[in-house]
Amino acid sequence: MTRIGIKHEHTASGIDYTMCLNEKAIGTARVIFHNEHEYELSEVEIKPKHRNKGLGKKLVQFVAYHVPHHQLFLASVIPDFYEKLGWQRLSSHPSFVDHTHKDCQLCDPEQCISMVFKKPPFLISLNGPQSHDFFDYLQKQNPMICEFSHVNLRMWKEVENNFMIEIEGYWFMISFSLRGMAASIPPQPKIPEPVFSTFLARCRELGVESIKFLSWHAAQQLEDFEYFPEPSEFDYLYKSRDFADYAGGRFRKKRNRIAKFLRHFPEHRVIEYRNEHKNDIINFVKSVIHKKAFCCDTETVLESGLNQNLLTGFFVTVNDDIAGALFYSQLNARTIDVHFEFSAPHVDGLSPFMNNHLGKHVVDRYPFINREQDWGLPGLRKSKYSYRPIGQIRKYAVKL
């Protein structure tokens, strides 16, 4: 599985970005804060053997929407490249451009063009004050799809670059991630035709490629488009009681694996997660991620969730070392969303043990558990089916 992601680090003068392919750095970019009005994109570079694959465009677009400022400047001798990504040429240079600087002299100052990227004014940041209205609205719609979990949206906001669009009281979302530009429609009442037309116009203005994570109800409103299911994105839904009891022949293998775990590791401990455990959990997750095909952004997103105190969870120690961890949150009044589950590969039976513990812990309040999608990975799909889901939350998409 090819894993691509972007890591960023805030510095005293700006933000440094690193594009990674399977955890190896293949590209860089830097945003420099010159003053409160001028923020410069500079030092964009993709390693030679990874060029001409569209990665530079993805890096520039990601950074442009990730930077927490309305506009971003740059000076370049290849303006055509940036114009295709929505940048506009300027008739004069910003104050930070100094063509007498030694770095400028290495280039071609006479061919240097200054450009600016401005985010459309209708895009609303998930960090802004209106986000509270959006999340309140979303919770009232009783979401079942994991992408519309308020916790997922807050954790993934800097990786997916999610923005909101509000049109006459109806809400939509736009994501500017490395996978491409996509829109989504949260669960809500039937959208009036004028509102929907305005939303599609916004999508065309942004160059959105698809509308994803559509429920069946939302897909039915796209009468002029051909929608199709995305099985790799389907969420798996379970009964909490099944996890709590593992009753009957369906769960015989799970009970046997738990018995094996208890027999081999009688000194294990289950510990409720608290903030003081964060660094130990992050270090454990790093060690697991490097051995398995997790999403490249998993570590970043988990740390974001822990930093924002969005997650509830527990971890299991074996011989005083962390061997597994599980984190979840409320998706709606009757369902929890399991966001992360990690277990050391050498501790057999730990995963069914943790899910059994989870079921016992939540069954009296939440009758259902959403364990999210399988990303099309055969091993993950097999594992999710082994826990006997009662069904899947289907998701649809359309191409624009």
Answer yes or no: do 48 and 102 share one domain: yes
Report the DSSP pairing between strands 113-118 and 71-76: antiparallel
Confidence (pLDDT) at 269: 98
Backbone φ, ψ for residue 200 (5° rounding): -65, -35
Q: What is the pLDDT of residues 26-44, one digit of tens each?
A: 999 999 999 888 999 999 9
Query: 362 and 249, same structural domain?
Result: yes
Whether 225 and 155 map to the same domain: the answer is yes
Find the domain containing 190 and state its range. Answer: 124-233
From 118, 148, 168, give the residue that closes a domain: 118
32 and 65 inside one domain: yes
User: How far is 381 from 365, CA to CA, in rounded Å?
Assistant: 27
Pairing relationship of beta strands 368-370 and 335-343 according to DSSP bridges: parallel
Give the end of a domain, one of 118, 137, 171: 118
Give every CB contact of residue 256 below 8 A, 6+ residues apart in sequence. none
**Which uninterrupted H or E stretch holds 228?**
strand 227-229
Quick one: 36 and 55 in the same domain?
yes
E strand or H helix at 167: strand 162-167
CATH number at residue 284: 3.40.630.30
Helix intervals (H) in 124-273: 131-140, 150-160, 193-206, 216-220, 240-245, 252-264
pTM of structure: 0.90
In a domain, 391, yes or no: no
Same domain, 229 and 239: no
298-307 vs 150-160: helix axis angle to the nearest 10? 130
Number of H helices and E strands in the chain, helices first, is 13, 21
pLDDT in tens, 97-115: 887 777 776 677 778 999 9
Same structural domain, 364 and 241 = yes
> Does the residue 385 lie in any domain?
no
Does 383 fall in a domain?
A: no
Predicted pLDDT at 220: 87
Strands of the sheet containing 180-184, edge to edge, are 124-125, 162-167, 170-177, 180-184, 210-214, 396-399, 227-229
Asked whether residue 380 is assigned to any structural domain, the reply reads no
Does 239 share its domain with 229?
no
Count of the separate structural domains present in the chain? 3
- C-alpha dihedral sign at 349, 352, 354, 357: negative
Q: Which of 118, 142, 159 is the last residue of a domain?
A: 118
**89 inside domain:** yes
| In-domain check, residue 183 | yes
CA distance 278 to 298: 15
Residue 398 lies in a domain: no
User: Residue 221: what pLDDT?
Assistant: 84
User: Within this chain, do residues 229 and 261 fall inside the same structural domain, yes or no?
Assistant: no
250 and 334, same domain (yes or no): yes
Residue 150: inside a domain: yes
Q: Which residues of the chain have pLDDT under 50?
A: none
- Judgement on whether residues 210 and 246 belong to the same structural domain of the protein: no
Residues 361 and 240 in one domain: yes
